[in-house]
Amino acid sequence: MPQLDPASVRDLPASERDRLAHRLRDAGEDFLAERFGDALSTLRPLASRYAAVAEVQELYGLTLYRLGRWTAASHRLEQYEALTRAIDQLPVLADCYRALGRLNDVHDVWDRLRHADPDAETITEGRIVAAGALTDEGRPRDAIRLLEAGPLRPKGPQEHHLRLWYALADLYDRIGDLQRARRGFARIADVEPEFVDVQDRLAALGTHNA
């Protein structure tokens, strides 16, 4: 749930700060419940009025992203980064660029991200998006090498690990390396049997190990 940074709203009257915090909390609840249209209705006027409040711009950008409004989402996430210098939403920004076909911008974001010492989840999500851009460029083997450099054997797999494994297994399938594809999807199924469509992917590939 987004929390306002007191420094970003210190010039507002106390009553206005409270109203803003309440509306941002409501929008956050709608976002978490995937009521993105409701969140958008709340956030749109806030984003215009409070252009310098990073938490508003961040949540508005993420909501636009979930609604597939890539250009508008990228503008808000760029604004969030400019206000905070934070890198946590760079993978989402890169995914907006990818959806818009701005693949050079995806690679630029990945280059910035990998040199910024992000947390494990952020770097993994960025890696997945960067690999997707390489695939879009017709470079699936380069994408595979990028994903293979990620965390393939963590002690306690989390969702971002499963997402990386899925992207890698999908690429193996695309290039016809069915043995590695089966193993990749099977590894996911061992951790989270209902992850995305992993059971369907295994069924399509066959359950035996080649």
For residue 208, the model assigns a pLDDT of 47
Among residues 101, 92, 91, the alpha carbon closest in space to that of 64 is found at 92
Domain ranges of the chain: 13-86
CA–CA separation, 170 and 122 (whole Å): 21
In total, the chain counts a number of residues equal to: 210
For residue 8, the model assigns a pLDDT of 78
The amino acid at 84 = T
Sequence-ordered alpha helix ranges (H) in 89-205: 90-99, 103-114, 120-136, 140-148, 159-175, 178-191, 198-205
pLDDT digits (tens, 9 = 90+) for 79-124: 999 999 999 999 999 999 999 999 999 999 999 999 998 999 999 9
- Token duo for residue 183: 């193993």
Q: Tens digit of pLDDT per residue, the chain (210 long)?
A: 677 877 778 788 889 989 999 999 999 999 999 999 999 999 999 999 999 999 999 999 999 999 999 999 999 999 999 999 999 999 999 999 999 999 999 999 999 999 998 999 999 999 999 999 999 999 999 999 999 999 999 989 999 999 999 999 999 999 999 999 999 999 999 999 999 999 999 999 985 444
Q: Do 125 and 147 contact (CB within 8 A), yes or no?
A: no
The amino acid at 101 = G
For residue 207, the model assigns a pLDDT of 59
For residue 209, the model assigns a pLDDT of 44
CA–CA separation, 210 and 208 (whole Å): 6
CA–CA separation, 56 and 109 (whole Å): 22
CATH architecture group of domain 13-86: Alpha Horseshoe (1.25)
CA–CA separation, 62 and 24 (whole Å): 13
pTM: 0.91
How far from each other are the two terminal CA atoms of the chain, in whole angstroms? 46
The rounded percent of the chain whose pLDDT value lies above 90 is: 88
Q: Which residues contact 2 (CB under 8 A, 6 or more apart)?
A: 24, 25, 27, 28, 55, 58, 59
- Output DSSP code: residue 9: G
- Token duo for residue 3: 């929390």
